[in-house]
Amino acid sequence: MANGPFGGNKPAKPQRTPLQALVYWGTVLGIWGLIFVVAFFAVFARDLPDTSTLYDVKRQPSINYLDRSGALLAVRGSQYAPPVDIDALPPYVPAAFVAIEDRQFYHHFGFNPWGIVRSAVWNATHDGPQRGGSTITQQLARNLFLSPAQNYRRKAQELILAVWLEMKFSKKQILALYMNRVYFGAGAYGIEAASQRYFNKPAKDLSVGEAALLAGMMKGPARYSPVSAKDRAARRATIVLDEMVRIKAITPEQRDQAFSTPVQVSATLANQRAQYFTDYIDAQVRSLVGEPTEDLVVETTLDLPIQVAAERAVKQGVEAYEKQGVQQSALVAIDGEGRIRAYVGGADYADSQFDRATTARRQAGSAFKPFVYLTAMEQGRTPDMMVVDEPVKIGNWEPRNYTGKYLGQITMQTALAQSINTVAARLASEVGTSNVANTARRLGITSKIQLDPSMALGAVEVSPMEMAQAYAPFSNGGFLAKGYGIERIRTAKGKVLYDHNVDKQARAAVIGTPALQYMNQMMREVVTSGTGTRANVPGYDIAGKTGTTSDYRDAWFVGYTGGFVTAVWTGKDDNTTMRRVTGGGAPAEIWRNFMTAALPRLKATPIPGGVAPPPEAPDPIGDLINPTPTPTGAAAETPAGTAPPPGQLPY
């Protein structure tokens, strides 16, 4: 077979040796890798943030909230401390962060490819919380320069900045920057501020257990807070300690000693109360004085010992009635001037920060009836006037009594004390639902009030704050008392920026006599012999009203003594039904337990207003000469063909 240049088989192509193949393919991959890196930087490095801000600290001023006697309630805003020298810390402090956040910290160049792959595989194959593959350097880049947005562009820029940081700084400097800038919750930024806030000590004095606890918070400062989530934080700290042993940062004996030495969290921080209240007034601070530019002190109206009693009563009440479906409760207590003295927005702030004291709107049920009766009293009726409890139909609506029974002729006082639905419905129709709505607004209800006849039985959505301030005129002699929580705002240096008493307007009288005396007389009977007997506190002048809505979705008790009123709501956040929980049950019991603790401190006085005068003797001749006009009905306010919701329960 010819092998010449003009015919025959071509000579075989020489095979590359393994070394030549390695060099060849290494070169190819290197070129493509270089092309990829250039393209990567061209796409993602165009709008990188300005790294000259590396050493800038944007400090949000700290705000200290004090109760009415000067006791510290809470601290909000940021707390920074001078950067700590990492060499001044015990070696196990930085080691705790490396052990739990980035074991390969000293061996990678800003990012860990295998960590990224492991996280991607986990996230693709598992539901629930996602795992992150970020190194300490990447976290530092994100905290310093980027937003927390979860997208590929931000992640790519994070990688670029992490590599830049590794080129510019040593590992020790990167770790120091990280520990001095990272957020530890409770407004504390950096290891020194966190150590001071949580343990009242400098970071150089942290114990092994304290260091593990702080490092464990990096996964989620709120979720693993030693203040609001003690058990979860302790479990996380245990994992940190085990990892520290694994990388030989501490010995097993040191870990065991940390287990046997309880960590003592700052008493001031651990005993922080009134978190719902602090949230409520925190936004108001900025509306009153603008965005703070320096540390502030806010003097509030809250009374800390009373607040503690309120939180305890709410928590115990929810636990006691849990089997009956009570999941949440809210309590607001204000004095006769409108000062908020206790404020509880839920059973447990650590579990839910949603504020049910002012943010939630729930139907008031029969707790709305006093506005109906007050309107009637102001139109000339009296507690002793006879009314008839019998079936009634207003348009297409037929309200019913809770018991299904009718008492016949009774006094108006008995009708309110026993929360008779038919009487309240007919009464609202006679005096006019628009007049009832005006009465409620005049006393402090600010939510929208629908004018259908069912509003007489509380088909009106209100907050506990509104109910407390609307009942306040009954307790203080008839004066408007809009609830407020801030007395004074000053700088840490003493400059007063806001004072509630400056240019204070005279309070308007919103209930006159004898209507005020009549209402107090009737609502006293609610507590002494009506639906609210469980709220009675022996030895004190107490009045109030229960409220329960259809299907037991909401239960209320709003009660008062001289110059002090408290509104309590119980229910479920999803508005589903409880199991026969009425206003005379769980809410009245929470109210009584709270007031039993609060009243001695308040030095409560009897309800002002005196004794209601006796009704005038009948004058048939005068009635013939000057007949009293019949109150205009309000049934026509219901749209034709529209049936209002079913009547509310009586309690």
Residue 521 confidence (pLDDT) above 90: yes
The H helix count followed by the E strand count for the chain is 21, 16
CB 134 within 8 A of CB 158: yes
Stronger pLDDT, 190 or 112, i.e. the higher one: 190
pLDDT surpassing 60 at residue 14: yes
- pLDDT by residue (tens digit) across 124-157? 666 655 555 689 988 888 877 765 555 556 577 7
Between 170-184, 380-394, 569-583, the lowest mean confidence (pLDDT) is in 170-184
Side-chain-side CA neighbours of residue 8 (13 Å): 8
Distance between CA atoms of residues 240 and 106, nearest Å? 18
Could you confirm whether 210 is annotated as catalytic?
no
Strands (DSSP E) contained in 152-288 are: 188-189
* 3-class DSSP state of 533: helix
Please state which of the ranges 9-13, 273-277, 442-446 shows the lowest mean pLDDT.
9-13
The one-letter amino acid code at 194 reads: A
Helix axes 92-101, 171-181, angle to 10 degrees: 90
* Measured distance CA(102)–CA(387) in Å, rounded: 78
pLDDT at residue 641, as a whole number = 31
Rounded to whole angstroms, how far apart are CA atoms 521 and 262? 56
Least confident of 287-296, 325-334, 476-485: 287-296
Examine the pLDDT at 213 and tell me if it is beyond 80. yes
Arithmetic mean of pLDDT over the chain? 84
Over residues 91-131, the pLDDT tens digits come to: 999 999 999 999 999 998 887 776 666 666 655 666 655 55
Name the pLDDT band for 52 (thresholds 50, 70, 90): low
* Catalytic residue of the set 195, 207, 225, 366: 366
What token pair was written down for 487?
């007395």
**pLDDT given at position 92:** 96
Q: Which of 101, 166, 192, 430 is catalytic?
A: 101
Helix (H) or strand (E) holding 446: none
Confidence of residue 446 (pLDDT cuts 50, 70, 90): very high
CA neighbor of 404 nearest in space, from 417, 414, 418, 391: 391
Burial 377-415 (b: 16+ CB within 10 A, else e): bbbebbbeeebebeebebbebebbbbeeebbeebbbbbb
463 has catalytic annotation: no
pLDDT exceeds 60 at position 615: no
Dihedral sign, CA of 240, 242, 244, 247?
A: negative
H/E element, 612: none
End-to-end CA distance of the chain: 113
Q: How far is 370 from 121, CA to CA, in rounded Å? A: 63
Give the pLDDT confidence score for residue 46 in this predicted structure: 52
User: What pLDDT does residue 270 have?
Assistant: 60
298 φ/ψ angles, rounded to the nearest 5 degrees: -110, 115
Tokens of 16: 């590359």
Q: How do strand 496-499 and strand 328-335 relate by DSSP bridges?
A: unpaired
Statement: residue 59 has pLDDT above 60: no
pLDDT of residue 197: 81
Q: How confident is the model at residue 451 (pLDDT cuts 50, 70, 90)?
A: very high
